[in-house]
Amino acid sequence: MKRIVVLISGRGSNLEALLAARLPCSIAAVISNRADARGLQTARAHGIATAVVDHAAQASREAFDAALAAEIDRHAPDLVVLAGFMRILGDAFVRRYHGRLLNIHPSLLPSFPGLHTHRRALEAGCRLHGCTVHFVTAALDNGPIIIQAAVPAYPDDSESALAARVLAQEHVAYPQAVRWFLDGRLSLDEAGRVRLDGEQRPGGALLVPQPDR
């Protein structure tokens, strides 16, 4: 059975979604850069090993990356999953786990990389917003896209309302992407784009607001 390590910094809602999905793998460890991350409690409640690699205790970003990699490698994972992990990882770290490092980002990349995505989408007047699961590369929020989920955005939305709508779809998209990886269905072509064996291609379109009937 394949092994995964999950990296978190906070509440761990995507960790909970991965656990609920009953994926065909062993979650070997949950690692956080914050000792107070609530998701660590969730992991312990499920009998999963936990560890804290505190970025503030390291002399440099490179030292943190090295300490984090050492802790990850102790668990010999096939896949490393960033689930609300709020640290930028350096080039050497990303290369170390090339092709087996996933992240979920709360926007429809390449739009709105970085922070405050829901606020920026509303300020830009977007009618569609969403989330993206992608392979991690050295460029921030710019890796090959695996799956995206879109939700409507309304002019009178609050940032929190839109965030909640997106988060619900994160909990669907992320377990699906991890399952595809575990099943060996994901690959990267020569251009660095994701190929999915047996991909389903639904027709139609989502229009927001809906046209008059």
pLDDT tens per residue across span 106-159 = 999 999 999 999 999 999 999 999 999 999 999 999 999 999 999 999 999 999
- Residue 186 belongs to domain spanning: 105-194
> Does the annotation mark 105 as catalytic?
yes
Q: Tell me which residue has tokens 């995507």.
A: 14
Q: Which two structure tokens, joined as six digits, stand for 40?
A: 């660590």
Q: Tell me which residue has tokens 């309304």.
A: 154
Domain termination residue (choose one: 56, 73, 97) = 97
Residue 145 lies in a domain: yes
Q: Is the pLDDT of residue 200 over 80?
A: yes
CA distance 207 to 209: 6
Q: Which two structure tokens, joined as six digits, stand for 175?
A: 């377990």
Domain termination residue (choose one: 97, 129, 147) = 97
CATH of the domain at 188: 3.40.50.170
User: Do 83 and 121 fall into the same domain?
Assistant: no
CA distance 118 to 160: 8
CA distance 165 to 205: 19
Q: Tens digit of pLDDT for each residue in 52-84?
A: 999 999 999 999 999 999 999 999 999 999 999
Which of 98, 105, 129, 171 is the catalytic position?
105
Q: Which two structure tokens, joined as six digits, stand for 131?
A: 């989330």
User: Do 87 and 122 fall into the same domain?
Assistant: no
